[in-house]
Structure 1
Amino acid sequence: MVRLVRALGVPVLLAGMIVLAGWTLGGIYDGPLLFQLVAGAGVASVLLAVAVRRLPSYADAPLSVLGLLAYLALAVWLSARQADIPGSLPEVAADAVANGIPRLLTALVPVEPQPDTVVIPVIAAWLAGLTAAELAGRAQRTLLSLLPPTLLYGGALFLVGPHRGGLGTGLIFAGLAIAALALTGTSAARAAAPDPVRTDRIDAVTRRALQVRAAVAALAGVTVIVAVAALLGPGLAGVVDKPPVDPRAYVTPPQLDALDQNPLIRLSGWAVNPTEHLLDTNLSADSAIRLAVLPDYDGVTWHVSGEYRPAARTLPSPPAPPAAAPGAEQAIAKDATVTQDITVVGLGGKLLPAVASARRVDGLRVSVDVDSGTLMLPTGLTPGMSYAVTSVQTVPDENTLPMADVPTGPEVSRYLAVGSGTLPERMRQLVERLAADNSAAYARASAIEQFLATHYRLDGGAPSGHALPNLDYFLFGDKTGYGGGKGTAEQFAAAYAVLARMMGLPARVVVGFHAKKGASQVLASDAYAWPEVLFAGVGWVAFDPLPRPGQQPEPLEEQFKPKPEPSTEPPSQEPLPTESVSASAAVPSGSGGSAAAAGSVLPMVGAGAGGLFVLVLAGLLVALLVARRGLRRRRLDEGTPADRVAGAWLEVSDALRLAGQGSPQHLTAAEVAAFAGEAAAPPGRKHVRLPAPRLDDLAWLVNAAEFSAGRLAEDDAHRARASATAYVGELRARRSWWRRLIWSIHPGPLRWHRRG
């Protein structure tokens, strides 16, 4: 019964450690599937290793690979079915294996269990379980077998980062490791038995030298521990309360192309072709479909900025709005759900249109920028692509919104920047005039909206551009000139956002489309831009500075009229990209592009080849180590007592050859024992060691096994094992550092013509 517990207890504990690693990693996944797959991989690999333990070691690897492939296919099929991933099983599996690591590191928490986010944890769990079971079973190295599950658990903690974690799981993991070591420890009775090979008497000089050596070593160890604690202690204590590092911060997520960096300039192109068919939609309510959010302005260009990370079908909620100041009036807002079925017709780029704020996307695997809530498709939009979106809009109460204030602080500074250049004087005067008549934040925002809608004309043929000089000309230029007093939605939204920022209102620009309830077509004429202002306790509120259809602009007040001298035309703009221009046109061509591509590919190829070489070398070393341990186990622990005595003798013979002092073939057992004693003779004055164990008793047992094998008992086999292991350990300890390094992985004993 005790032997059964020892044989099965360690594999069960190792499997439990892998299950705990899967539980830890599953904390950042959406649903229990990842935990179930990792736990199943750990248990299945350990059971397979136990089942094939009696088979030859060369049959272990093929069976393990077949088991891994079968289980991996099951994991890919289950995760693909749950995530509705289209494609055949081989195609999905190949894509998952090829892109598993980058997608796992860039995925947004909570991670959806998809083929590309589960294959790497499943493979790691299988290899950890198999390696641990082999080391504990064939090699009988329990301490070393704890390393693979520990590395797996450490990797899980690293991936989880600051999102999840607890002390309880770590304590249970450590308890399982301690139990495995205790289960395979030497029994008290066996430890108390006298050592048959340590019969040499130690003289007083050697004993005194050993005592001095032990005292010096202990003192040196204590000194090192105290020094390390003094040097590293304060630093380690300072990081105890810090959150763990998030590995996703060091991985570059998918990036937008040039077409999507500033979608605001696409409005003029769409205005030139108003009948261009962009989308087919079916909405549950009239809504504005959002394409892009542009939060950053440098005085020249509004542009998109954010981190788009792969997300599950269920998207995270948008960040909570800044809290209102204590004692301030609270504005009231309510949520409204809008469902959308969208089919792409002529819209290009990577940005994915959806009503704000999207909470679930079906039919596509999207990336999301959490701060803005906008969506991106890394592979790009293609005609005929369909998807469904469920969004939750925050609708503020118009009766309480006028009481809302705007937030302040460094977290909103990016929404107040207007570039580093000098602001046009007339824009400063306009801001001062509007702010003087309106003190409340919402009143100032409404005043800008009313001013633009009243005094300017919407013109689809107006020139593109939203740099500060362009906006100054749009606001105050000669209305008979090209662009003065008239503009597209680009100029209206950009001018509003800049004026709001100059007035202290956090603002941004949004590009999107008008869409009606029910089934409808979205044309280029439905594209427009609008500004949004951030209010404390409410969030982003949209404003519409466009004039109403048929409305005639009113003249500006006297102080804002253009001066008599001729006004200059706005600075020339770069050629306007339109929808008819291919998105790939922005990519430079020619030898420069090829050289850049080659320069970026060659390091990746070199790194991949180097990594593959390291993996192959590590696999070879592990295979040699396992094979050597298996050979030793078969020699010392399997067979009759006579076979194990002979195996112990072979261990000694191989050790002599590994030490570079192989015994001559013509020597008898007694002569080999004497030769071995000389090979491991006590060192000179430079080192102080105990005398090497003698092999006279083992030589006598070898002769007995040769001539009267049937008379040997189990105790004789144990004596032979103890003599051989004690001598081999001492012989190895007296070799040079490089011989000790390659001792356990030397392939010689596997090919030398020996028994066992």
Structure 2
Amino acid sequence: MSGTDTAAPTRRRRAQTVPTARAWADVAVLLGLTSLGIIGFAPSFGGAAFLVAGVGGMLIAAATAVTSTLWRLTALPTAAIALFAYLLAGPAFAVPALAFLGFLPTLQGLANVAIGSVYGWADIVTLGTPVGAPVYIGVVPYAASWIVTLVAVLLAVRWLPFRPRTSWRLALVALGPVALYLAAILLGTDEAFQAGVRGVVFAVILLVWLGWRAPAGGVAAGSTAALRSRKLAGTTVLVVVAVVAGGAAGALLAPDAEQRFVLRDEITPPFDPLDYPSPLAGFRYFSKQVTDDVLLEVDGIRPGDRLRMAVLDSYSGTLWNVAGADTSVDGSGSFALVGRSLPAPPLATTEPREPITVTVVGYDDVWVPGVGYPDDFQLLGETAERSDDLRYNAGTGSLVLTSGLAAGDAYQLDPAVQIAPALEDLDGVPVATVELPPVESVPDIVAATAQDLAADAVDPITQLESIRGALVRDGFFSRGRASDSVPSRAGHGADRMIELLERPQMVGDEEQYASAFALMARSLGYPARVVMGFAPDVPEGAESVAVTGDDVSAWVEVAFDGVGWVAFEPTPDETDIPQDQEPAPQSQPQPQVRQPPTADNPEDELLSPVELDELEDDEREVPFVVPGWVVTLALSILIPLALVLLPLLIVAGLKARRARRRRHQAEGHHRVAGAWEEVVDRYAELGFAVPERVTRPRAASHLVEQAADLPTAADAARLTGLATIADDAVFSGRLVAFDESDEVWRSALDIVSRTEEGLPRSRRILSRYRIRRAARAASSARRTPRRRSR
């Protein structure tokens, strides 16, 4: 008896720890349903990497659930082991490119698994498909299958065996795979992956499992042969009906691709202004290329009103731009989705004005010009359909339409204009405490000049007025047109600021003077920002004004405590620029030198005739006759070779001509820009996806992410530096020597060559037959502000 009593608890304990055959069957069904859900991610990702991640997460979770059951672990240790296994195996399955030897975890791989678990869900519905970057995006199917499988298998092996097997309990266990199936649809695209087949198979497996594994009439499914036969017959009928009815219903009732509901069609990605070139970089486009073109027609504008287009408070030494999200969360680069009513500015003393209406004629950009800080904004006509594309920054009063304005668009806004205080009202008023991004790479002469000009002033307004007055008084205005008496170089980088302040005569336009004044104000610790827009000449009583490219302007705003952002105009009036008169050099007489007589050498004396020996007919050799089979064999080999090699030679010649034209441009910055264009074209020909209409650094970032899996990823990472060099050469305005541009070309070609070594042979061969001529960011930048490269 004692032996029997001892063995009984052991058998009961083993029954509680080792899954039964029925539990293993339940686990197999749940894994099958989960696998069908994982396959639904195919339209979002493409390839097979997502499948490896999804199946890996499913297997890790199932193994964890079974192991915790065998060890009889409670909830807390089970959760700890599951999380540890999730992180440990995550790099190998989800981000193998960041795993050591492809399967061992690394710190970078663990970090990406953690980031992808949190942010990957939002990214997958805002990125274009197939989603290949960022690298952590592969964590989404891994995490989804892991959490679904972990919960479902734990319930199947630790809850179902000890509860009455009712249909509702089985359905509760199956909720996880059903949720994963639906999530794959919602996170996918308009084109489903084998929707009919997957749906019918999923429904059949689920219905058969629910019907077969649940008890019938209070008797277990396998208790009698008769009951088993009835269930088998019922299951067969159910499968046939499900396949026929489900297939027919899917073919007849399935919505079109355009009518499918997926989250990526409902969620608009956040607007990032850094994806677009700095508006101030295109100042000369308006002032020189579209000078007389009508851009906007404005009704309701008053004399003295200015149309604000963009507010820029970040300076990199090359460009003024908006502050990125990594610098300031609530700064000038933060744009929120808004409705018709717009939030009030956080720092401004405004007065309401009558509504104005703007009709777009020749303007083409995402920035929406407006007066002051709009209280109410409404798109008119057909443009109203794009109201969801509107974004607003309350701190700067800047509006953007992510889909862009084009000819024929119209909008109406109710402006609230900053009250312009008199100078004497600002005496003794301190500047406001405003968090602005730091300015970088500012020349020392800027701060030194500001200190000299403001030395005799004591409070902010007098110091700022001293600087502004000196620029207006001592500077001269020129937009670098052919009609200007003195040329004025474009740009507002550090070298242009040095040139403006060090030359005996300051020469420039609003771009240079606004940049210099803002940098001087910032050097004194005052919150200053540059505003770009239009300042049309509005006659008294005019009902409508046409805004042209010649009306483009830039000014500076400084924040005063309790007042708001006060505008300053540091640009001098359009006056004649005095010329340095230098006497013309006098010609110096040269001594006469007797020249030697020319030698008469008739052509017939310089040439010696050559006589050819004539061969007798009988001395001539009979020419060799090629056999016909040799000709046939040669043609059978040469023709296929020609079909393969001739296109290769033609494409190679065109590529060489393309590179030669770019490398031998007349101006140095064009040669450097050509090197970048050559790299982008070469990468596209190698099969990389090159994003269109983005800045060079952003394009470089996309290419580096695509090359992250290559053995030569470190060489591809040099693209970021090349993009920075190209931007500096194009926008800084400095002279680029031939040696410098030649070195950039050598570096560019070396990057392409090294990246090419890490690619499969098939991609390298195919690239020899491709030629791309679409990388024209620099040239398009000279035509359209939206397409200029930064």
TM-score, normalised on structure 1? 0.38
TM-score, normalised on structure 2? 0.37
